[in-house]
């Protein structure tokens, strides 16, 4: 496999084939998803929409991809810059209100996933930096991630400059809010 230095990180909008991009991103989404069985096709569609589809549809300008030397998508970051605790699009994500005291200072949020073969080579960090730069240039004061409290990726976010600022319980799971201030 080629080295991670040959991987490029770019905005999704600069990828030449949007349809091909969506299929590749979706494949990585399902590869990394904790949930793969659903009671119905409608549940499966709703799950995909909640964690991926709505970002591609409503916030394509905020999406980034990591490309192999062959220009294959090997990782992605989707997100948005507006406060999700007060945006109607996220009303079904019931953990945002739990952190509404923090989201005004850290309004932008993101979801990031890499295909397994390319993890642990600094590519995730580069995707985070691309999103952080993008948000800072637009005057956003901070970014955040909500993830499983104590899960393996917590060390990744700490290494990327996030701090664990709050925790809660959601649907019986321990979750944590990781925030990172930006310097616009």
Ligand X SMILES: CC(C)(COP(=O)(O)OP(=O)(O)OC[C@H]1O[C@@H](n2cnc3c(N)ncnc32)[C@H](O)[C@@H]1OP(=O)(O)O)[C@@H](O)C(=O)NCCC(=O)NCCS
Residues that bind ligand X (CB under 6 A): 32, 112-114, 119-125, 145, 147, 152-153, 155-156, 159
In the complex with ligand X, the residue whose CB is nearer, 11 or 121, is: 121
Q: How far is the CB of 83 from ligand X (least distance, A)?
A: 19
Mind giving me the DSSP string for 39-56?
SSHHHHHHHHIIIIIHHH
In the complex with ligand X, the residue whose CB is nearer, 15 or 118, is: 118
Closest CA to 75 of 37, 111, 47: 111
Q: How far is the CB of 4 from ligand X (least distance, A)?
A: 8
Q: How far is the CB of 122 from ligand X (least distance, A)?
A: 4
Q: How far is the CB of 20 from ligand X (least distance, A)?
A: 20
In the complex with ligand X, the residue whose CB is nearer, 15 or 131, is: 131
* Phi, psi for 112 (deg, rounded to 5): -130, 140
Closest CA to 16 of 83, 73, 62, 94: 73
Closest CA to 132 of 159, 116, 110: 110
In the complex with ligand X, the residue whose CB is nearer, 51 or 59, is: 51
DSSP state of 81: S
Q: How far is the CB of 139 from ligand X (least distance, A)?
A: 25
Closest CA to 18 of 65, 54, 79, 80: 65
> Which residue number places its CB atom closest to ligand X?
124
In the complex with ligand X, the residue whose CB is nearer, 19 or 169, is: 169
């Amino acid at each position: 496999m080629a080295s991670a230095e040959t991987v490029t990180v770019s905005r999704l909008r600069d990828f030449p084939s949007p349809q091909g991009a969506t299929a590749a991103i979706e494949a990585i989404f399902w590869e990394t998803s904790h949930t793969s069985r659903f009671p119905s096709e409608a549940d499966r569609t709703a799950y995909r929409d909640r964690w991926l589809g709505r970002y591609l549809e409503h916030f394509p300008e905020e999406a980034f991809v990591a490309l192999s030397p062959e220009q294959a998508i090997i990782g992605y970051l989707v997100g948005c810059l507006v406060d999700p605790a007060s945006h109607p699009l996220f009303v079904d994500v019931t953990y945002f209100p739990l952190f509404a005291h923090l989201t005004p200072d850290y309004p932008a949020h993101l979801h990031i996933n890499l295909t397994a073969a390319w993890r642990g080579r600094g590519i995730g960090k580069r995707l985070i930096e691309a999103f952080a730069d993008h948000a800072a240039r637009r005057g956003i004061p901070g970014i955040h991630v909500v993830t499983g409290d104590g899960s393996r990726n917590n060390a990744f976010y700490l290494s990327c400059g996030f701090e664990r600022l709050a925790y809660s319980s959601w649907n019986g799971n321990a979750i944590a809010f990781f925030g990172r201030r930006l310097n616009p």
